[in-house]
Structure 1
Amino acid sequence: MKKFFHSSTILVGLSAFIASPLLAAPEGPTDADIANDAKSTGDVLTNGMGLQAQRFSPLTTINATNVEKLVPAFASSLGGEKQRGQESQPLVYDGTIYVTGSYSRLFAFDARTGEEKWEYTARLPDGIMPCCDVVNRGAAIYGDKIIFGTLDARLVALNRITGKVIWNKKIADYAAGFSFTAAPMIVNGKVITGNSGGEFGIVGAVEARDVNTGELIWSRPTIEGNMGTLNGKDNGVTGKVNSSWPGDTWKTGGGATWLGGTYDPETNLIYMGTGNPAPWNSHLRPGDNLYTSSTLALDPDTGVIKWHYQTTPHDGWDFDGVNELIPFNAKWKGKEMKLGAKADRNGFFFVLDRTNGKFLSATPFVSKITWATGYNSKGRPIYVDANRPGPPTTEKGTSVFSAPAFLGAKNWMPMAYSQQTGLFYVPANEWGMDIWNEPVAYKKGAAYMGAGFTIKPLYPDYIGALRAVDPATGKIVWEYKNKAPLWGGVLTTAGNLVFTGTPEGYLKAFDAKTGKELWKFNTGSGVVGSPITWDQDGEQYIAVMSGWGGAVPLWGGEVAKAVQHINQGGALWVFKLPKN
């Protein structure tokens, strides 16, 4: 016997089916989730494993007593021929691992099996001008979106489930030398970005966009004399015109914000590092050249600079100042304070009062520094004038040997802070350089450096050194020396562990208190990404990207020759303890 249904019954049933929670559009991480990322252990929602980027996990399932048993859970290949410089930090949410790859690609992998869910590859024009390899350092996640930047200076938001484009916005003109390599940051519904291209005479900037539309909210140039904006209207000149830049030099001053920043909810400030002044030839731009080679503290709602601290005024060695300022709370001379720490490319480890930028200390974290003997009580470097490259005449100026090299005592690779030990774990490098100045004139889209250089190792047995630094004293508590440079980020956990990778292909684990090497695994290519950890289905996982590249093989001089045998690659490796 046939059964007939009234049309209203069908409509009611269909409506209920459409409204089912199983079919509802996934909402995804909220501002509250992102703010809690450092404490939550079931996901990784931010670059830095928390907006303060301490890269510390409270997880203890994997610890110093059992890490030697760690084994691969799976490895997922990025495939293709685009295997260069995998510097990304993965994100994890709702059973999916998101990771960016070289040449502006974004992948979604199943967090339990490693199976690829989708891949997005940006269509890059032929004229891109990345300074230091075709790298990308990670994405940001919010709601139904996963957001990342591209080498042609665009910001792209994809649906995190399907990988389809939601919006795609131009950050800057790639033909003028701009690019974008950092991981974006989400602060209260705004996407915070910087830019890359300091070697091309661009003007650095920090910008905020609406996370749902990609529309610009505010922009703050990092070079004095350039106008900021808020909601499409002028919002004041950065600094004061010609205060620290002569003539028109502020129009091509560099100061790229190419590493991204950190955010501190306790002070409601964004901390963003700025890069080298342009050109490298410091004799063409007398003065401090604000706000290059600095840390800026910005209001997240307006982009107004609340304070700044310049680590290398009148930088003549390409030391930059982009290195991350990590907020932490500790006693300073008996008083509980809100502090910030920064291991600068110039070789000094800084501690500041992060509420106002007041200088507290600067101590060396490498063995040889030739450009300055230290810092005075006001936080100004005490220069060694003879170690500044000389002014060029018709060809090149006087060459000097300087340490550290321009690739830095610490380059882009992020350090970590342990809430358990109170130590910072800094991936450092010991190298120097012959450097000299050359005549140069600005031309849009052309390299604007005015310097030449050759990088050389300082010691025959090692270049890289993972160092545990006590911020209260500047003392190096322990160190691990590595033959090749260290170029990857650091992770530390409450399990008394520190993880980092090496160009030789190893992911390694160390005792956080003593520095004893406890475990290592060779991934088949150099590890220059940042490891993460999370728990899932009752187990703790460790993940890291493998794929040799970055600035060292391109700019490393004699050092590059020493590591030219390392194979390139592109794979996400995930580890856990055996169930038995």
Structure 2
Amino acid sequence: MKRCHVKYFALTALVTAMTFSLQAQAVTDEDLLNDHMTTDRVVTDGMGMQKQRFSPLTRLNADNIEDLRPVWTLSFGGEKQRGQESQPVVVDGVMYVSASYSRVFAVDARTGDELWEYNARLPDGIMPCCDVINRGVAVYDNLVIFGTLDARLVALDKDTGRVVWRKTVADYQEGYSITAAPLVVNGKVITGVAGGEFGVIGKVEAYDAMTGNLVWTRPTLEGHMGYIWKDGEKVEMGISGGEAGQTWPGDLWKTGGAATWLGGTYDPDTNLLFFGAGNPAPWNSHMRPGDNLYSSSRLALNPDTGEIVWSFQTTPNDGWDYDGVNEVIPFEYEDNGQLIKAVATADRNGFFYVLNREDGKFIRGFPFVDKITWASGLDENGRPVYVPENRPGNPAETGESQGKTVTTAPAFLGGKNWMPMAYSQETGLFYIPSNEWEMDIWNEDVSYRKGAAYLGAGFTIRPINEDYIGVLRAVDPRTGEEVWRYNNYAPLWGGVMTTKSNLVFTGNPEGYLMAFDALSGEMLYRFNTGSGIVGTPITWEMDDEQYVSIVSGWGGAVPLWGGEVAQRVSHFNQGGMVFTFKLPKAYE
């Protein structure tokens, strides 16, 4: 039987929580929409609904960053010290941060004192693809909302940690889970699901934030029906992308994957949600000839109904597990005096795409990694120009247990994986955490079985270069130019943040929080946290001082799936800590 657990750690902590509850204001829709301009709170994953991860703060800059110093740390405790991929949020002096194994902590942001902990107490038999991670929480009204590895949404009272509502989103025994931070738009909690390696049906769903009641559901695979609830009645919204089987053979669309495991962004200017849909299932592309909509795609949805407004597929008939979930970030730029409303996304397949965010039309695309072998480029519509000999072979043609092995770059873990990039409104550049690796990949026969891995492929991953795998890149989305780069020995697996004062923050598996000059790429600061960083930094101001926080704790997909790469970093220590720094007033 599943249980949950809320624990207070000291009477003084409880008193502190009560004190803050008297001061804290409920988080409103307006607060969420204005988060990108707010400096004393961070109330969204992404530091704004559009997830540019850009802070307007300037106190901390290149001249004084050497005086940034740690002021407190918090351990997540116990034996659950691995895969800490979350981004904290901060509401009126209280930090809310999720941790591995579906836990949430409330912390006094001034002192690091733990106020409460919620532990979802997961059942036996969960099947997360890529470690026991959780990437963050949403806050709304007086609630802290997050997803669990057994595919539930849980809403907690932000002052006590007590459960307000709990909803099952999907059946974990079929391979579903939730790892991304939910998104709250107009009082609705928007979530996707993980589980693409198990032949699940990807979907995006909206729940009433105050009650947990389902508002609408939209499958992200062609042929599946969406629904909206009106006055308690279930109303058909129509099927996704036309009749079943148009771009899928036979019944494979029924177990086709396209999981929406990274969550979404929201653009109030167009009133659109942007979600990515992941890899098709199985990986063996010869079993499913066709484009396999909407796998490996970016989708724009109406947040009120779930209707798919437009779609753009980055890897049709994906045969390399390049997925399509990487974040879609709205931004604007001028072209010949015209303001272009665009979105940008850096795909696992190695290409960077700029699209019109109103209709999804392709504007431009270019490689952002050094080596791409599966495609020779993109055509005028952004469709990849495949290199046929670099698609893994069909075992049915050879009569053997596996098809021809090919060497492909990037590896399936991607030119960029889940780790979020940042966009600077000051420099006009995107800062992309990326990796240079390749793989040997081959196809195998496979049949769907509920709750079992549904791959039909084997692989090995190895570094392309001896002295580095990770590359932090500054890229101009208007030209494709790489303005600067920082090479890192281990793969980069954590997110990026930038500031108006032209600082770029990220962490690496070696354990360092690092800060760079946003224009030149010069490293200005680093601090060793003692375990690999695979989380995403934030910054805010409190008591007239600027703070920076990052979660440290090595884990995630690389140690589990990384082959030779995993061996290279096998000596890195696991961990589970929040590190918080500040620039004291005297050093501004």
TM superposition score normalised by structure 1:
0.95
Q: Please give the residue correspondences for 1:475-490 in structure 2 after superposition, counting only pairs within 5 Å.
A: 475-490=481-496
Report the equivalent of 1:13. Answer: none
Deviation per residue, 1:449-489 (Å, 9 max, x gap): 00000001000010000000000001100000000000000
Alignment check: 8 A CA contact 1:394 1:439 kept: no
Contact 1:288-1:313 at 8 Å conserved across structures: yes
Query: Which 5+ residue runs of structure 2 have no aligned equivalent?
Result: 1-18
Q: Which residue, 46, 63, 66 being the options, matches 1:65?
A: 63
Residue 299 of structure 1 pairs with residue 287 of structure 2:
no
Q: Is the 8 A contact 2:544 2:585 kept in 1?
A: no
* CA drift at 1:65: 1.2
Does the 8 Å CA contact 2:23/2:92 hold for their aligned counterparts? no
Q: Which residue of 2 aligns with 1:466?
A: 472
**C-alpha distance in structure 1 between counterparts of 2:335 and 2:171, whole Å:** 45
Q: Take 1:523 and 1:370, find their aligned partners in 2: how far apart are those partners?
A: 37
Tell me the residue number matched to 1:243: 246
1:165-314 correspondence runs (5 A):
165-231=163-229, 232-240=234-242, 241-314=244-317
Partners of 2:393 and 2:271 lie apart in 1 by 43
Deviation (angstroms), 1:298: 0.2
* One-letter amino acid matched to 1:430: E
Q: Distance in 2 between matches of 1:68 and 1:234?
A: 58
Matched residue SS, 1:38: helix
Q: Could you tell me how far apart the structure 1 residues matched to 2:335 and 2:432 are? A: 20
Q: Pick one of 128, 153, 156 that aligns with 1:155.
A: 153
The separation in 2 between residues aligned to 1:380 and 1:577, in whole angstroms, is 47
Aligned to 2:548: 542
Residue 447 of structure 1, aligned match among 453, 459, 465 = 453
Question: Does structure 2 retain, via aligned residues, the 8 Å contact 1:26–1:144?
Answer: no
1:424 matched to 2:430? The reply is yes
Rounded Cα–Cα distance in structure 2 between residues aligned with 1:489 and 1:182:
13
Separation in structure 1 between the aligned mates of residue 21 and residue 361 of structure 2, nearest angstrom: 53
**1:379 shift after superposition:** 1.6
Aligned to 1:107: 105
Q: Shift in Å at residue 332 of structure 1?
A: 3.3
Which one-letter code corresponds to 1:438 in the other structure? E
Among 400, 409, 412, the residue aligned to 1:403:
409
Where 2:509 maps in the other structure, the secondary structure is coil
Task: Say whether the 8 Å CA contact 1:410–1:427 is kept in structure 2.
Answer: yes
Question: In 2, are the aligned partners of 1:532 and 1:544 still within 8 Å (CA)?
Answer: yes
Task: Give the AA of the match of 1:120.
Answer: Y
Contact 2:24 2:92 in 1 (8 A): no
User: Residue by residue, what CA displacement relative to the aligned partner does 1:499-537 show, whole Å, maximum 9, x if unpaired?
Assistant: 000000000000000000000000000000000000000
Contact persistence 2:97–2:137 (CA under 8 A): yes
After superposition, the Cα gap between the structure-2 partners of 1:551 and 1:333, relative to the gap in structure 1 and judged at 3 Å, is: farther
Q: Which residue of 1 aligns with 2:85?
A: 87
3-state SS in 1 of match to 2:428:
coil
State the shift of 1:394 in Å. 3.7
Distance 1:30 1:329, change over 3 A: same
Q: Indicate the residue corresponding to 2:528 in structure 1.
A: 522
Quick check: 1:36–1:50 contact (8 Å CA) kept in 2? yes
Alpha-carbon distance, 1:233 to partner: 2.0
Aligned residue for 1:250, secondary structure, equals: helix
2:441 counterpart of 1:435: yes
CA deviations on 1:91-120 (whole Å, 9 max, x unpaired) are 000110010000000000001000000000
From 322, 325, 330, the equivalent of 1:322 is 325
Aligned 8 A contact 2:24 2:91 in 1: no
Which amino acid in the other structure matches residue 111 of structure 1?
A
State how far apart, in whole Å, the 2-side matches of 1:489 and 1:283 are. 35
Identify the match of residue 120 of structure 1 among 100, 118, 121: 118
Decide whether the 8 Å contact of 2:20 with 2:93 is kept in 1: no
Q: In the alignment, residue 60 of structure 1 is paired with which amino acid?
A: T
Match of 2:36, SS? Answer: coil
Give the whole-Å Cα distance in 1 for the aligned partners of 2:400 and 2:228: 45
The offset of 1:26, in angstroms, is: 6.2
Higher Cα Rg, which structure? 1
| CA gap 1:23/1:472 in 2 versus in 1, 3 angstroms | closer
Q: Does 2:132 correspond to 1:134?
A: yes
Q: Which amino acid aligns with 1:344?
A: D
**How many angstroms does 1:28 deviate by?**
1.1
Q: Which amino acid aligns with 2:421?
A: M
What amino acid is aligned across from residue 203 of structure 2 in structure 1?
Answer: A
Other-structure match for 1:17: none
Q: SS where residue 461 of structure 2 aligns?
A: strand
What is the count of residue pairs matched by the alignment?
Answer: 560
Contact 2:192 2:202 in 1 (8 A): yes
Q: Tell which deviates more after alignment, 87-96 or 324-333.
A: 324-333
1:38 corresponds to: 36
Aligned partners of 1:206, 1:331: CA distance in 2, in Å?
33
Amino acid paired to 2:153 = L
Alpha-carbon contact 2:20-2:92 (below 8 Å) kept: no
Per-residue Cα deviation, 1:240-270 (whole angstroms, up to 9, x for no partner): 2111011111000000000001000000000
- Aligned match for 1:552, one of 558, 564, 588: 558
Supply the distance in 2 between the matched residues of 1:554 and 1:154 (Cα, whole angstroms): 24
Using the TM superposition, give the Cα deviation of residue 579 of structure 1 relative to its aligned residue in structure 2, in angstroms: 3.9
Counterpart-to-counterpart distance in 1, 2:162 and 2:472: 40
**Segment drifting more, 333-342 vs 122-131:** 333-342
Aligned to 2:14: none
Q: Distance in 2 between matches of 1:104 and 1:152?
A: 9
| Whole-angstrom CA distance in 2 between matches of 1:383 and 1:506 | 38
Change (3 A) 1:375 1:22: closer
* Deviation, structure 1 residue 334: 4.2
Name the CA distance, whole Å, in 1 between partners of 2:333 and 2:520. 21
Give the deviation of 1:333 after TM superposition: 4.8
**SS of residue matched to 2:321:** coil
TM-score, normalising length from structure 2?
0.94
Distance 1:567 1:378 in 2: 45
Kindly state the Cα deviation for residue 203 of structure 1 after the two structures are TM-superposed.
Answer: 0.6
What secondary structure does 1:218 align onto?
strand
Query: 2:351 matched to 1:351?
Result: no
| 1:377 and 2:375 aligned | no
CA displacement 1:379-437 (0-9 Å, x = unmatched):
21100010000011340000000000000000000000000000000000000000000
Counterpart of 1:362 in structure 2 is 365
CA contact (8 A) 1:507 1:520 kept: yes
1:576 equivalent to 2:582? Answer yes
Q: Distance in 1 between matches of 2:540 and 2:440?
A: 44
Report the residue type matching 1:235 in the other structure. M
Residues 149 and 178 of structure 2 are in contact (CA less than 8 Å); yes or no, is this contact kept in structure 1?
yes
Cα deviations across residues 154-179 of structure 1 (Å, max 9, x unaligned)?
Answer: 00000000000000000000000000
Deviation at 1:25, TM superposition (A): 10
1:163-202 Cα shifts (integer Å, max 9, x gaps): 0000000000000000000000000000000000000000
**Paired letter, 1:476:** E
Distance 2:355 2:477 in 1: 10
